[in-house]
Copies of this chain bind each other. A is one copy, B any other.
Amino acid sequence: MQTRKILLEEDEMPRKWYNILADIKMNPPVGLDGKPINPEDLAPVFPMNLIEQEVSTERWIDIPEPVLDVLHIWRPAPLVRAISLEKALDTPAKIYFKNESLSPPGSHKANTAIPQAYYNKEFGIKRITTETGAGQWGSALSFACSQFGLECKVFMVKISFEQKPYRKSMMAAWGGNCIPSPSMETKAGREALEKNPDAPGSLGIAISEAIEAAVTDETGKTRYALGSVLNHVMLHQTIIGLEAKKQFEKIGEYPDVIIGCAGGGSNFAGLALPFVLDKLNGKKIDIYPVEPLGCPTLTKAPFVYDYGDTAAYTPLLPMHSLGHDFMPPPFHAGGLRYHGMAPIVSQLVAEGIFEPKAVSQLAAYDAGVMAARSEGIIPAPETNHALAAVIDEAKKAKEEGREKVIVFTWSGHGLLDLTAYDKYFANQLKSFALSEEEMLKSEKVFENYPKPQLLKSH
């Protein structure tokens, strides 16, 4: 009988996050004039201790004890050998995954929600606002706020809010307050509703609402939290890859291929970043961020400066972007419906360290159902995209007769996304791809923006 789970004890969990900004070159966030923005400018939005972390170039950053303590509720996460999936595929590849579905809110998002809530609390903040698409991030932040005694307000993209009433309930169980976006509570929301009273909402608008709600709070005790994209979020997620490295050491293996689904990029980066330095130093590893064909940020969109949100409240970030007013087609993987991509991930794609892949919605759900029926866990729709790429690799390994080691993140479970599976079984899911025309329309957005430099880290 083969061992399925490679475990770590709590005292074996890494006690520092890895900050890749110590090892790679990055374009700074800028204003429309092309001048780097001042960290102080972000002070109304984020607490200063997180802003310092956002711009830090220290290679290793201590995880505070109270954060470790809460992470221990579910971490270290097992590294799982997917022996049943291997058998189903009859592949010589060894497939491993980090099981991030075991956190109380059900995904990797809790890895950054906990430290973000902690640092806000330390800074004297009483209330955090945020947005959520599919609901994973809003759930994770509600959970985190309940751990540190903070209020939590979540603007949820309206169409998801209506399709997934359980998400609101989940947040409420932890004391979080979730409302549909666009809402009448913010200028950004009211403007969107004026244009279209039936607006289904978008991640970009919800971000704008959450930022506005934070910066306009007169008590000064409210800040905003973002669940992906930013450097400090990538930092917190490196716990995934750092644990995985220790676990691979335990069994004397090292991955040939690293795979993660990428929406804003944090799940993928969390696993991949701790392996990047090895690759920069010459180690042969294939590292694939996987995105949906319907929102092909890394595979099709240019590397530009663009806003992180629809209302252009954020600085310009150097990233692959489909344009901050881009509205993805209605595929079911809310966490991957974002126009941009983490600057760190974008930079490493731009210089060829990461090699992005895009998969169709149908391929993703085919893979997800195969995985549910072998490994048992019903995957989040986002995870299905990673699974499609994993299965492709495993099939390639079979063709080549190679015993490749593949590792990916099982970013979350799909227990609150089951309607999408219903549609799949009823043959109501289709695949989407962007036309050339749509791509060109998106690119026009950037015409008058500053351009990021092409930097090489090594």
Contact = CB atoms under 8 A, between A and B. Distances in A.
Interface string A399-431: 000000000000000111011011001000000
Contacts of A439: none
A422 B68 CA distance: 31
A420 to B, nearest CB: 9
A57 interface: no
A172 interface: yes
A336 interface: no
B1 A65 contact: yes
Among A11, A69, A169, residue most surrounded by chain B Cβ atoms (within 10 Å): A169
Interface in A165-195: 166, 169-170, 172-175
A156 to B, nearest CB: 15
A3 interface: yes
A300 interface: no
Contacts of A11: 3
Contacts of A372: 146, 173-174
Taken together, the copies of this chain in the complex come to 2
A377 B104 contact: yes
A115 interface: no
Given A104-B377, A166-B166, A173 B69 contact: no
Grouping DSSP codes into helix (H, G, I), strand (E, B) and loop, the A interface class, with mixed when no group exceeds half, is: helix
Interface string A56-76: 000000000100111011100
Interface in A3-54: 3-5, 7, 9-11
A143 interface: yes
A169 B104 contact: no
Given A5-B72, A10-B4, A418 B146 contact: no
Given A170-B378, A378-B104, A373 B175 contact: yes
A147 B1 CA distance: 16
A263 interface: no
A73 B169 contact: no
A147 B104 contact: no
A204 interface: no
A376 interface: yes
Contacts of A69: 1-2, 4
Nearest to A104: B376
Interface string A367-398: 00100110111100000000000000000000
Contacts of A73: 4, 84, 375-376
A106 interface: yes
B415 A172 contact: no
29 contacts: A1-B68, A1-B72, A2-B69, A3-B72, A4-B69, A4-B72, A4-B73, A5-B10, A5-B72, A7-B7, A73-B84, A73-B375, A84-B147, A143-B376, A146-B372, A146-B373, A146-B376, A166-B419, A169-B419, A170-B415, A172-B421, A172-B425, A173-B372, A173-B418, A173-B421, A174-B373, A174-B378, A415-B415, A415-B416
Interface of A: 1-5, 7, 9-11, 65, 68-70, 72-74, 84, 102, 104, 106, 143, 146-147, 166, 169-170, 172-175, 369, 372-373, 375-378, 414-416, 418-419, 421-422, 425
Given A104-B377, A173-B421, A174-B378, 6 more contacts: A3-B10, A4-B10, A5-B72, A170-B378, A173-B378, A173-B418
